[in-house]
């Protein structure tokens, strides 16, 4: 649903200054992130072969853009949804040691997205992945990693304020953690998105833990594919799930604003369990899944951080189309223009 804020005042109205600010955000944040998590920048594919199982299935229902590769006998390739699994394979190929990792600029097409203020068919994000040790597959390590990412966001916000004094920092000092079951218990009469709005309005920055598995109402907080995040393993806090989303309160749109989906990745046991829960045991024969089950892939933590999303938030923009060039309907372009929102 398109949101047109009343009396929208774009803090950086001219295109040239906006483009300069976007570059500053991207440069600063990726430098901060790589320092916090010891990440090496690598190049990334725009497409992967379908039969490898390397593409991200997102919620498990989206269809990737496909095309035949002539020089491979017409074999089918897919434009990536994200690099959730490819990064883990890349780390195995690089023989990366625990405590180190990679990040990359990921560009994807998601043509089934419902286009609105924060969704576009074009997705750009920092995809990152870090090798971990077996004893780090726990909720304490997950929270430690989330705090490091949040610190990278805060440092970027503060540095941006030096260059653009109109962008006054608004993030709280600490990020608040809550499990999706606790959130349901707290707001049992609300939808998942309404629960996110309430908790994020209260705390400003929230990490919702445990996304993908069914809660006490028989439904998941949100969808997750079965073969990358571990959403089914019990954790030491008495709930299931070693993954989650970083949410920030967006005062321009007056809503919870997801900037990152991340988590500790499945080990062999969690993969088997989650494929069974989703009725997707057939995937176990694909290259990625076979490698994981055979112990050929490292244990990792990883996720994606939206580049246009983060720029939109830090630059106080009302629509992702003020940050990136994509495809918008003529009606949306006209409605936004009347509200002072000019789409690229």
pLDDT of amino acid 60: 63
Please give the share of the chain, as a percent, with pLDDT higher than 90.
92
pLDDT of residue 330: 95
Active site residue 236: no
Question: 245 an active-site residue?
Answer: yes
Catalytic: 324?
Answer: no
The predicted structure's pLDDT at residue 82: 86
Please give the average per-residue pLDDT across 299-309, as a whole number.
97
Provide the pLDDT for residue 146: 98
Predicted confidence at residue 316, as pLDDT, reads: 97
Strands (E), 172-275: 176-179, 205-209, 243-250, 255-264
State residue 81's pLDDT score. 87
Determine which one of 30, 56, 180, 224 is catalytic. Answer: 56
What pLDDT is recorded for position 112?
87
Q: Is the pLDDT of residue 89 over 90?
A: yes
Cβ(276)–Cβ(246) below 8 Å: no
Catalytic residue list contains 258: yes
* Residue 44 confidence (pLDDT) above 70: yes
Residue 293 pLDDT exceeds 90: yes
Q: Could you give the CA distance from residue 302 to residue 293 in angstroms, rounded to a whole number?
A: 19
Q: Which of 261, 308, 324, 326 is catalytic?
A: 261
The residue from 110, 265, 309, 316 that is catalytic is: 110
- For residue 62, the model assigns a pLDDT of 76
SS3 51: helix
Q: Which CATH number fits domain 24-45+81-304: 3.30.930.10, 3.40.50.920, 3.40.50.300, 3.40.710.10?
A: 3.30.930.10
pLDDT digits (tens, 9 = 90+) for 255-286: 999 999 999 999 999 999 999 999 999 999 99
Residue 58 has pLDDT above 80, yes or no: no
Residue of 129, 222, 258, 322 marked catalytic: 258
Q: What is the mean pLDDT of residues 229-241?
A: 95
- Which residues, 6 or more positions from 236, have their beta carbon under 8 angstroms from its beta carbon? 138, 139, 140
Q: Is the pLDDT of residue 75 over 90?
A: yes
| pLDDT at residue 123 is higher than 70 | yes
Q: How confident is the model at residue 61 (pLDDT cuts 50, 70, 90)?
A: low
pLDDT in tens, 125-184: 999 999 999 999 999 999 999 999 999 999 999 999 999 999 999 999 999 999 999 999
Q: Is 230 a catalytic residue?
A: no
For the chain, what is the mean pLDDT? 95
From CA 180, how far away is CA 261, in angstroms rounded?
Answer: 14
**Angstrom distance (rounded) from CA 120 to CA 324:** 9
For residue 123, the cross-strand partners are 108
Q: What is the average per-residue pLDDT within 200-217?
A: 97
Catalytic hit among 245, 309, 324, 326: 245
Is pLDDT at 3 greater than 70 in this prediction? yes
Active site residue 261: yes
Q: What is the pLDDT of residue 1?
A: 87
C-alpha distances out from residue 209 to 49, 179, 188, 246, 273, Å: 32, 4, 17, 9, 19
Q: Using 50, 70 and 90 to split pLDDT, how confident is the model at 53?
A: confident
């Amino acid at each position: 649903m398109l949101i047109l804020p009343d009396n929208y005042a774009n803090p950086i109205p001219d295109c040239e200054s906006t483009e300069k600010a976007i570059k500053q955000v991207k440069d600063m944040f990726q430098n901060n992130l790589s320092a916090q998590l010891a990440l090496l920048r690598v190049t990334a594919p725009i497409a992967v072969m379908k039969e490898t199982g390397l593409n991200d299935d997102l919620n498990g229902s989206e269809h990737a853009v496909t095309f035949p590769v002539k020089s491979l006998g017409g074999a089918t390739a897919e434009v990536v949804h994200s690099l959730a699994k490819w990064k883990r394979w890349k780390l195995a190929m690089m023989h990366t040691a625990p405590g180190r990792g990679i990040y990359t600029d990921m560009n994807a097409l998601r043509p089934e997205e419902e286009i609105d203020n924060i969704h576009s068919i074009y997705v750009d994000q920092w995809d990152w992945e870090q090798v971990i040790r077996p004893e780090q597959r726990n909720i304490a390590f997950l929270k430690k990693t989330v705090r490091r990412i949040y610190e990278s966001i805060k440092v970027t916000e503060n540095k941006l304020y030096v260059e653009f004094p109109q962008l006054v920092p608004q993030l709280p000092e600490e990020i608040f953690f809550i499990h999706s079951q606790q959130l349901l218990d707290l707001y049992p009469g609300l939808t998942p998105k309404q629960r996110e709005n309430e908790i994020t309005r209260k705390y400003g920055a929230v990490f919702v833990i445990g996304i993908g598995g069914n809660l006490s109402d028989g439904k998941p907080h949100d969808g997750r594919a079965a073969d990358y995040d571990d959403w089914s393993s019990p954790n030491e806090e008495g709930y299931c799930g070693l993954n989650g989303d970083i949410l920030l309160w967006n005062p321009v749109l007056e809503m919870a604003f997801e900037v990152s989906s991340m988590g500790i990745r499945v080990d062999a046991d969690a993969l088997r369990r989650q494929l069974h829960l989703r009725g997707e045991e057939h995937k176990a024969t694909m290259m990625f899944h076979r490698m994981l089950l055979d112990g050929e892939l490292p244990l990792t933590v990883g996720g994606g951080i939206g580049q246009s999303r983060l720029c939109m938030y830090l630059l106080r923009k009302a629509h992702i189309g003020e940050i990136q060039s994509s495809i918008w309907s003529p009606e949306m372009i006209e409605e936004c223009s009347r509200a002072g929102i000019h789409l690229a």
